[in-house]
Chains A and B, each alone.
Chain A
Amino acid sequence: MLLTMSKVEIVGLKTLFFQVLETLQDLGSIHLEDITKKRGPRYADLIPMEMDPALEEERNLLQNLAMRNNAILSELMPPKERVSRSAIDEKYKEFKGKTLGEIGAMVDEEESATKELISYKNELEVELSRLSKYEPIIKKVYPLASKVTTTEQYTSIALLIEERYKAVLDYIEAELERITGGQCDVFSARVDENTHAAILVFHKRFSEQVHNFLASENVNQVRLPSELADKPYDEALKEIETRYEEIPPKLRKVREDLEAISNKWYTTLVALKDYLADRIESLNAIPKFGQSGHVFVITGWIPSEKVEETRLILEQKFEGKVELTEEEPGHEEMEDAPSALKNPAAVKPFEFIYMLVNPPKYGHIDPTFLVAIFFPILFGFMLGDMGYGLVLFGAVMLIKRTLKKKQSKSLFFSLFANVLLICSISTFIFGIIYFEFFGDLLIRAFGWKDAAGHLQVQWVWGHTANGTWGWPVERIAQANPDMFKLLLIVVIIIGALHMGGALTIGLIDAIRHKERKHVMEKTGYLLFILGLVVIFGSLWGFKAIKGVGVPLGALMAVGGIAVAGIGGGFGGGLEAALTFGNLLSYARLYGIGLASVILAEVANELGAEFGGGAMIILGIIVAGALHTLNIALGILSPSIQSLRLNLVEGFTKFYKETDVVYKPFKRSGGE
């Protein structure tokens, strides 16, 4: 359902402007309009409000404070004890009585208390991460390096060589002897399965030649931090290890200090973040307003149920110096009316669909309830399995718990999780109809299948001229064509009801907006679908009236094409005829379901192949893995196909969307 909105105009003395703006922001109900974009005589005498230099300066100062405050906030971890919204609101109120100078002084104080600690923490973290890169090298080379003693005239280089190339060490040793004239030593040892470490010790005056030789032979030396590069290898490694051990306690101490600051300041900082964001937003809104002489004019939309309350508050607070009047919006203005959804709790999750398409346009019908009815039916019809329904229910509850624990703010996931929860129930119900529990697991357990794999037990509930139908409804119905016919009839009925519902919404909408052409078009489509239902009904269901039903249905279908053609021209007529294709498209419900149940039965069959005894465990693992895959596919595919049927077969028939969404001018509230 869409909220009824009222177009309002608020006029008051300019001296009260900022107080009115603050009150409106506190009330949080008005969707502001930009008066500069308004045309017409009513707005001709109004001059748009402008930001004077003082306000510009104030905004710059606020932005600067917000930036500094947010920078501090981003470095602090939230306190372990959750900060309550009421505590933040309390602090927020305190800021209202403070000047910008006082707030600035507070931010200075916060900064001086945290700046050094934060930069020290960052330095330690950077150094720790840099040193951690040397950790594996240290572990490998240090045991060897500790055996090497160098004097002032000597230096050392470390090499790590793959075990399979260790023969190259003999060549390096020979070359080193040649270059240094024997003033060298090579220590080498295997440090792990694949690596050989070597330390070359030689006189410093040969340093350049040795490095050149190693570079020309493409031998990789172990690189150390630049500040330690000149030191002998054993000393450098020792220093790295000492520093590596020193940093974590220091870092722990800094983090504890920051935690203490966070416990003390976090609520204040969050409240200040909200307060500054709200002040900036309120200043940014100023150019949207109009003025003339001594008064200001604010225009916008308020949910009709809140107009009276807003009017009373403004009247009482400003003693009649500010007036709110309800305007009768013109046709053009209705185009700009914001759309706000208000649906019951059971329907609300299905609003997730408006994250894929824009929400419904104001003044038209919100089709969320249609999605709420058909999405679970379409989903359940496809997945339909008691076991899968239970697994899905459990998985969604787990996801919801995780989302809650992580304080996730993702609206899409929270809505879609609830959609899947509802769908898990419909999956379970359809599972009862098909009597499927992880495919044919129960049927196998009860021995209801014959050697050819066909269902033997069925409680017959219908002997008709068209066939014998009963429960359980067998989806793999090769041996039972009546069942296949039944399922096909059901999907056509579901399709006709779904599309009929969508077209009825479109028809009501067109009648309400007095759009004659659309009325004809939608009537034509509906007549065509009704004609098809009569034809299929008399062919498959009520064969006794076949003689009358088929020609009558054909007449209705042709009449529907003609009526749609009158309303929408050639395109309208063609679209009506193509509705037949849309209707057949619902056969996918059967197809996807069939694929799902076949895969489930394959899983059980494969599991059963392992036989009894200890092999049963392996059978359960194999069947479980395939069922898991099937459930994952079974969630993805029916979700996408249900969405597609709702959006393509349903929405395209009537839906009018808008990009003007109700965004009330309100306090940020922690967003």
Chain B
Amino acid sequence: MELGLIAIGAALAIGLSALATGWSQSKIGAAMAGALAEKPELAGNAIIMIAIPETMVVLGFVISFLITGLKPE
């Protein structure tokens, strides 16, 4: 595979998953901020909820890392 394609693949893997995580965290974060104003005792849940979409970017990072390890043909 060409080096350029490898780089594009790796960039897409991390980039798209980071965008998706950012978008979901912004939605969850805004909703949880509203919920916390009403019920501050939900702070613990808020942290967990906001952390949930991080799975995407973490896995995207791993995949991207693996792709960069591929040898160009």
* Main SS class of interface, A: helix
Q: Known A357-B44, A643-B47; judge A590-B52 contact (CB<8 A).
A: no
User: In residues 588-618 of chain A, which contact B (Cβ within 8 Å)?
Assistant: 588, 590-592, 594-595
User: In residues 492-545 of chain A, which contact B (Cβ within 8 Å)?
Assistant: none
How would residues 636 to 671 of chain A score, 1 for a CB under 8 Å from any chain B CB and 0 otherwise?
A: 000011011001100000000000000000000000
Flag if B55 contacts A356 (CB, 8 Å).
no
- CA distance in complex: A478, B58 (Å): 17
| In the complex, A17 has a CB within 8 A of chain B | no
Q: Known A641-B54, A644-B52, A648-B52; judge A591-B62 contact (CB<8 A).
A: yes
* Main SS class of interface, B: helix
One of B45, B55, B62 near A594 (C-beta < 8 A)? B62
Flag if A587 contacts B59 (CB, 8 Å).
yes
One of A478, A585, A643, A647 near B65 (C-beta < 8 A)? A478
Q: Known A478-B68, A644-B52, A648-B52; judge A588-B59 contact (CB<8 A).
A: yes
Flag if B59 contacts A591 (CB, 8 Å).
yes
- CA distance in complex: A595, B69 (Å): 15
Q: Known A478-B68, A585-B55; judge A648-B48 contact (CB<8 A).
A: yes
Chain B residue contacts of A357, Cβ below 8 A: 44-45
| In the complex, A355 has a CB within 8 A of chain B | yes
Smallest Cβ distance from B7 to chain A, in angstroms? 14
Closest to A581 in B: B55
- CA distance in complex: A595, B18 (Å): 14
One of A355, A478, A591 near B44 (C-beta < 8 A)? A355
| In the complex, B1 has a CB within 8 A of chain A | no
The contact size tier of chain B is 10 to 19
Which of B47, B51, B54 has most A Cβ within 10 Å?
B51
Q: Known A478-B69, A641-B51; judge A356-B44 contact (CB<8 A).
A: yes
Flag if B65 contacts A594 (CB, 8 Å).
yes
Chain A residue contacts of B69, Cβ below 8 A: 478-479, 481
| In the complex, A484 has a CB within 8 A of chain B | yes
Chain A residue contacts of B37, Cβ below 8 A: none
Flag if B45 contacts A356 (CB, 8 Å).
yes
User: In residues 32-73 of chain B, which contact A (Cβ within 8 Å)?
Assistant: 44-45, 47-48, 51-52, 54-55, 58-59, 61-62, 65-66, 68-69
Q: Known A357-B44, A478-B69, A640-B47; judge A592-B52 contact (CB<8 A).
A: no
Flag if A640 contacts B51 (CB, 8 Å).
yes
Flag if A356 contacts B48 (CB, 8 Å).
yes
- CA distance in complex: A413, B6 (Å): 46
Smallest Cβ distance from B61 to chain A, in angstroms? 5
Closest to A354 in B: B44
Smallest Cβ distance from A56 to chain B, in angstroms? 33
Flag if B61 contacts A594 (CB, 8 Å).
yes
- CA distance in complex: A585, B55 (Å): 7
Closest to A484 in B: B66
Which of B54, B58, B69 has most A Cβ within 10 Å?
B58
Flag if A647 contacts B58 (CB, 8 Å).
no
Chain A residue contacts of B61, Cβ below 8 A: 591, 594-595
Closest to B62 in A: A591
- CA distance in complex: A587, B65 (Å): 13
Closest to A643 in B: B48
- CA distance in complex: A221, B68 (Å): 68
Closest to A480 in B: B69
- CA distance in complex: A481, B61 (Å): 17
Chain A residue contacts of B47, Cβ below 8 A: 356, 640, 643
Chain A residue contacts of B51, Cβ below 8 A: 640-641, 643-644
- CA distance in complex: A350, B70 (Å): 42
Which of A355, A357, A478 has most B Cβ within 10 Å?
A478
- CA distance in complex: A644, B61 (Å): 19
Smallest Cβ distance from B44 to chain A, in angstroms? 3
- CA distance in complex: A592, B65 (Å): 12
Flag if B55 contacts A588 (CB, 8 Å).
yes
Q: Known A478-B68, A478-B69, A641-B54; judge A587-B62 contact (CB<8 A).
A: yes
Chain B residue contacts of A647, Cβ below 8 A: 48
Smallest Cβ distance from A355 to chain B, in angstroms? 6
- CA distance in complex: A592, B57 (Å): 10
User: In residues 347-375 of chain A, which contact B (Cβ within 8 Å)?
Assistant: 355-357
Chain A residue contacts of B66, Cβ below 8 A: 478, 484
- CA distance in complex: A595, B60 (Å): 12
Closest to B43 in A: A356
Closest to A592 in B: B58
Smallest Cβ distance from A205 to chain B, in angstroms? 59
- CA distance in complex: A173, B69 (Å): 78
Smallest Cβ distance from B55 to chain A, in angstroms? 6
Smallest Cβ distance from A590 to chain B, in angstroms? 6
Chain B residue contacts of A648, Cβ below 8 A: 48, 52
Chain A residue contacts of B58, Cβ below 8 A: 587-588, 591-592, 595
Flag if A590 contacts B62 (CB, 8 Å).
yes
Closest to A488 in B: B62
- CA distance in complex: A478, B63 (Å): 12
One of A479, A590, A644 near B48 (C-beta < 8 A)? A644
Smallest Cβ distance from A643 to chain B, in angstroms? 6
- CA distance in complex: A594, B66 (Å): 11
Chain B residue contacts of A355, Cβ below 8 A: 44
- CA distance in complex: A364, B47 (Å): 26
- CA distance in complex: A591, B69 (Å): 15
Chain B residue contacts of A640, Cβ below 8 A: 47-48, 51, 54
Closest to A588 in B: B58
- CA distance in complex: A481, B47 (Å): 34
Chain B residue contacts of A592, Cβ below 8 A: 58
Smallest Cβ distance from B41 to chain A, in angstroms? 9
- CA distance in complex: A442, B22 (Å): 36
Chain A residue contacts of B44, Cβ below 8 A: 355-357
Closest to A353 in B: B44
Chain B residue contacts of A588, Cβ below 8 A: 54-55, 58-59
| A and B contact pairs by CB, cutoff 8 A, 12 listed | A356-B44, A356-B47, A356-B48, A479-B69, A588-B54, A591-B58, A591-B59, A591-B62, A595-B61, A641-B51, A643-B48, A644-B52
The list of the 3 closest CB pairs from A to B, nearest first, reads: A356-B44, A478-B69, A591-B58
